[in-house]
Chain A
Amino acid sequence: MNGGAATAIGFFRPGGSWLHRRNPLTKLLGLLWVLLAAFLLPPPVLVGLAAAALLLAAACGRLADVLRSLRIPAVLLASILVVNALFYPGGRDLLAGLGPFAVTREGVEFGAISVGRLLVAFVASVLLLQTTLPDDLLEALVAGGVSHRVAWVILAAMQAVPRLQATARTILEAQQARGLAVSGSLGRRLRALVPLVGPVVIGALVEVRERTFALEARGFGARRRRTAYRLVADPAIDRWLRLATVAGMVAVVAAAVAVR
């Protein structure tokens, strides 16, 4: 009935793990490093990255939640694998024939690498979201020199997803209560989308207006030098970690250039 508490903290799961205690900027840089490494370095590195991410999740007690969250991209990842396996252009090495379709080694490889990269990126992002309070990320970004308006937009985007999910659920129920059938043929399912999309869009617009009013009423439009109430810890270890991560990024780029 009331998902208010859940949406307030976005995907954040309270806790006191090592990762929870890191400064959000450190985690953000870490995420960037993982993305660089996953997409620039040779594919075998992906295995190491994935193992490291899952180990970190386990060490912070987040493994079960992270694995559960994999349901979200599962269909996308599976379809990437299948489409590449069957339709990879320039695939020569035939592994199996399925009627008019041919599964090629190159296709399977490319699909697996793509899936691996997205998987690593997804797990790392989920770890960041689950261990970082959106507000702390905002304060850390502002402290790091990002305009607080830009930081607010990032925060709002992080919060929008769970809120939108809750809204969409209510809308679906309301339309089903008007006799809307959401199962059946593909055509029927597609037609059933119309009464769902309209209220979602209108609801989002109404919310934008309400939130604009609310922010204005709280002086958000005041062009003053902003002060911060919430203090985000930034221990010495975080500063060293960030230095190390930046060095790691340089190393990744250098290695990627060297390999090519």
Chain B
Amino acid sequence: MAGQDGGGRPGMSPGARRPGLVVDGLAVRYPGRPVPALADVSLAAGAGELVGVAGRNGAGKSTLALAAAGFIPRVVRAAVSGSVRVAGLETGAAGPVDLVGRVGIVFSTPSSQLSGSKLTVREELAFGLENLGVPRAEMDERIDRTLADLGIDHLAGRLPAALSGGEQQRVAIASILVMGPGVLVLDEPTAQLDPAGMAAVADLLMGRAAGGTAILVAEHRHVVLARAARVAMLDAGRVVADGTPPQVLGPAIADRAGVEVAAVLRVAAAIGLDPSLAFDEGALAAALDRWAVDARPVPAASAPPALREIAWEPVRAQPSTGFRVDGLVHRYPGGVVALAGVDLAVEPGETVAIVGQNGSGKTTLARHLAGILAPSGGSVQVGGTSVSGRSIAVVARTVGLVFSDPDRQLFSRSVELEIAFGPRNLGLEAGTIRRLVDQALRLSGLDDRRTANPHDLTGSDRRLVAIASILAMDPALLVLDEPTTGQDAPGVARVGAIVDAMAAAGRTVVAITHDMEFAARHFGRTVVMRGGRIVADGPPAAVFAPTNAALLASTGLEPPPIARLAGRLGLGAPVPLTVEELLCRATSPAGASRRRGRVRPLTLTLPETPSSS
């Protein structure tokens, strides 16, 4: 790697002059790949600066993270040119000890970053210090200081494997920072977390930047990106924009790069507000209020590039099927009560999003619908028939459950064969199977990849293959477990199109999700779970009303940004969920009368409070 001085290159901010991370003219090509993963990438993160890296899946975010942390080319083989310097040290020539003391990296899966053998968080943090040969006498002090700096001292004595994802991720960050690096690189650190976990990690990163660490974070989530000092947008391995979050994440750049545009930026653009104010919810609400007084015609807000609508034509003659769960209790071996009495009736053809923090019982409920678990109490009926006592394979004729991890099910050598596996198991005729496979490929947008090996695809495409492999069984009831996890904006839009198409075909669709905007946009009903019970149930416009804010917060959730803005404007249920609805409601006569009355007191309606476990 040729070291050159990075001063004056594009993408350098004044803060970058202090030692931190400097990437200059970096190009990376993996062996056997025709196109480079990164080309001429220059950016910098100075001490105390949080720099975000956005981009759709496959844009090069992970490669940039690996290179910035010195993993490329030391651990991952690749041809590299250009230079990466951390705290003044050229990474290409540095040994592991020099690197680990200067730069640390955190990945997206919390559990696989922990050593997996430690009994306490304290010992987990000691692991890196042991490898660096830090004298035992110094360890406790360094561990205590790191835990206190990160505000997680209360976790010190806990078993790492028993922590929540958000807690584990903060421990993973702590176990890197305890080794003393001045530069921290993170690759989608919130991808696997629930909303409360995401917020906690975002807060921690802000705190560390304020404490002087240089941070580079590759992310999809606005909860992190919006708070960055700068964001670099990657597209096909190149930096296509580098600026403040409002500049880079606005429709002009993000829509083109396949990155989700923050809804607040669409609102700001529609009302002609300076985008730099958009992430300040209070300021945006005030501006929106002033704007609405003039009651001008509602402008068209920018919208993400829409997918061509693709329909699903039912192939198997199945009646539309709902389900009914009565007093469902589930106790795992070891005594953990995952479901503490769930009652839920879903009519044929309904679309239901189930939300709630990790551990609230969502996945357990989904597994009961597919007949994988036997109730400890209560009953599950699908289409009027009890599920218990029937084999999973028999229930699968009616209920299609897509597991959250596609790698737990893909095994065929081509996408096509993978998708045909399910309908084959149903014993359908060859012609019917072909029709189903073709349709599933089209709906999931995988038509051009039908002969590819599923394991050569990106993570988002593998998830789509897993969904398509269930679609091809033409289930009367489709259950999706976290279908948008790890998806970029086009991927989320694709999953949304699948939900819409199945619903239009009269199929019942249930999805577990941590993405409130996804839930609000594609599902007619939102079910909120907490501690193994349902605590709210209704149309999203009612569930996400400001009056429910405290209830949602109690299970680690908050309403989607548009609903929050509506709350600040005093607009009650049915709360607007899209930019257009918000602008309409704000200028409507009802909105005007609301303004005359000024701030309406928020009333809180909590259902009977179950003990959250």
A163, chain B: closest CB distance, angstroms: 8
* Complex contacts, B376 vs chain A, CB 8 Å: none
Interface contact B132-A4, CB-CB below 8 Å: no
The reply on B69 being an interface residue by CB < 8 A is yes
* Complex contacts, B132 vs chain A, CB 8 Å: 219, 222, 224
Alpha-carbon distance between A207 and B392 when the two chains are bound, in angstroms: 28
Alpha-carbon distance between A167 and B310 when the two chains are bound, in angstroms: 35
Alpha-carbon distance between A179 and B410 when the two chains are bound, in angstroms: 14
Interface contact A218-B175, CB-CB below 8 Å: yes
B201, chain A: closest CB distance, angstroms: 17
Give the residue of B131, B176, B400 whose beta carbon is less than 8 angstroms from that of A220: B131
CB-based nearest B residue for A134: B117
In the complex with contacts A155-B117, A179-B393, A180-B393, A1-B338 CB distance below 8 A: yes
Alpha-carbon distance between A172 and B476 when the two chains are bound, in angstroms: 22
Alpha-carbon distance between A222 and B410 when the two chains are bound, in angstroms: 36
Interface contact B116-A7, CB-CB below 8 Å: yes
Stretch in contact with the other chain, from B103-111, B349-357, B523-531: B103-111
The reply on B409 being an interface residue by CB < 8 A is yes
Alpha-carbon distance between A176 and B75 when the two chains are bound, in angstroms: 37
B241, chain A: closest CB distance, angstroms: 29
The reply on B364 being an interface residue by CB < 8 A is yes
Interface contact B396-A171, CB-CB below 8 Å: no
The 8 A CB mask of B385-418 against A (1 = contact, 0 = none) is 0000001110011011101010111111000000
Interface contact A8-B425, CB-CB below 8 Å: no
Give the residue of B75, B97, B469 whose beta carbon is less than 8 angstroms from that of A219: B97
Alpha-carbon distance between A42 and B274 when the two chains are bound, in angstroms: 90
In the complex with contacts A217-B104, A218-B176, A8-B116 CB distance below 8 A: yes
Stretch in contact with the other chain, from A86-94, A193-201, A232-240: A193-201
The reply on B602 being an interface residue by CB < 8 A is no
B442, chain A: closest CB distance, angstroms: 20
Interface contact B411-A194, CB-CB below 8 Å: yes
* Complex contacts, A9 vs chain B, CB 8 Å: 117, 119
| Given A176-B392, A213-B113, A224-B131, 7 new contacts (CB under 8 A) | A7-B161, A8-B117, A181-B391, A210-B107, A218-B127, A224-B133, A229-B127
Alpha-carbon distance between A152 and B111 when the two chains are bound, in angstroms: 18
Interface contact B473-A226, CB-CB below 8 Å: no
> B69, B95, B399, B421: which has the most chain A beta carbons within 10 Å?
B421
Alpha-carbon distance between A220 and B115 when the two chains are bound, in angstroms: 11
Interface contact A179-B473, CB-CB below 8 Å: yes
Count of residues in A whose CB is under 8 Å from the partner chain: 59
Q: What are some 15 contacts across the A-B interface (CB < 8 A)?
A: A5-B162, A7-B116, A7-B161, A8-B159, A8-B162, A135-B119, A135-B123, A178-B473, A195-B421, A196-B411, A215-B115, A216-B96, A218-B127, A229-B127, A229-B139
In the A-B complex, the 6 residue pairs with the smallest Cβ-Cβ separation, listed nearest first, are A198-B411, A179-B425, A229-B126, A8-B161, A176-B392, A219-B131
Interface contact B131-A218, CB-CB below 8 Å: yes
Interface residues of B (CB under 8 A from A): 69, 71, 75, 95-97, 100, 104-107, 109, 111-119, 123, 126-136, 139, 159-162, 175-176, 179, 332, 338, 363-364, 367, 370, 372, 391-393, 396-397, 399-401, 403, 405, 407-412, 421-422, 425-426, 455, 469-470, 473
* Complex contacts, A174 vs chain B, CB 8 Å: 403, 408-409
CB-based nearest A residue for B118: A135
B229, chain A: closest CB distance, angstroms: 24
CB-based nearest B residue for A155: B117
Alpha-carbon distance between A225 and B134 when the two chains are bound, in angstroms: 9
Alpha-carbon distance between A226 and B139 when the two chains are bound, in angstroms: 13
A98, chain B: closest CB distance, angstroms: 36
The 8 A CB mask of A202-213 against B (1 = contact, 0 = none) is 110011001111
CB-based nearest B residue for A215: B115
Interface contact A217-B69, CB-CB below 8 Å: yes
Interface contact B409-A224, CB-CB below 8 Å: no
* Complex contacts, A176 vs chain B, CB 8 Å: 372, 391-393, 396
Alpha-carbon distance between A2 and B338 when the two chains are bound, in angstroms: 11
Q: Which A residues from 8 to 44 make CB contacts under 8 A with B?
A: 8-10
Alpha-carbon distance between A171 and B370 when the two chains are bound, in angstroms: 14
CB-based nearest A residue for B392: A176
In the complex with contacts A170-B403, A175-B409, A199-B408, A135-B117 CB distance below 8 A: yes
Interface contact A178-B123, CB-CB below 8 Å: no
A105, chain B: closest CB distance, angstroms: 45
* Complex contacts, B179 vs chain A, CB 8 Å: 218-219
A205, chain B: closest CB distance, angstroms: 9
* Complex contacts, B400 vs chain A, CB 8 Å: 177
Alpha-carbon distance between A96 and B399 when the two chains are bound, in angstroms: 54
Interface contact B117-A229, CB-CB below 8 Å: no
* Complex contacts, B133 vs chain A, CB 8 Å: 222, 224-227
A7, chain B: closest CB distance, angstroms: 7
B463, chain A: closest CB distance, angstroms: 13
The reply on A250 being an interface residue by CB < 8 A is no
Give the residue of A173, A177, A210, A219 whose beta carbon is less than 8 angstroms from that of B109: A210
Give the residue of B135, B162, B399, B408 whose beta carbon is less than 8 angstroms from that of A171: B408
A194, chain B: closest CB distance, angstroms: 7
CB-based nearest B residue for A181: B393
Alpha-carbon distance between A229 and B120 when the two chains are bound, in angstroms: 12
A174, chain B: closest CB distance, angstroms: 4
Interface contact B161-A203, CB-CB below 8 Å: no
B399, chain A: closest CB distance, angstroms: 8
* Complex contacts, B134 vs chain A, CB 8 Å: 227
* Complex contacts, A171 vs chain B, CB 8 Å: 408-409
The reply on A71 being an interface residue by CB < 8 A is no
* Complex contacts, A219 vs chain B, CB 8 Å: 96-97, 100, 128, 131-132, 179
B480, chain A: closest CB distance, angstroms: 12
The 8 A CB mask of A155-196 against B (1 = contact, 0 = none) is 100010001000100110111111111110000000000111
The reply on A228 being an interface residue by CB < 8 A is yes
Alpha-carbon distance between A4 and B370 when the two chains are bound, in angstroms: 23
Alpha-carbon distance between A170 and B370 when the two chains are bound, in angstroms: 13
* Complex contacts, A138 vs chain B, CB 8 Å: 117
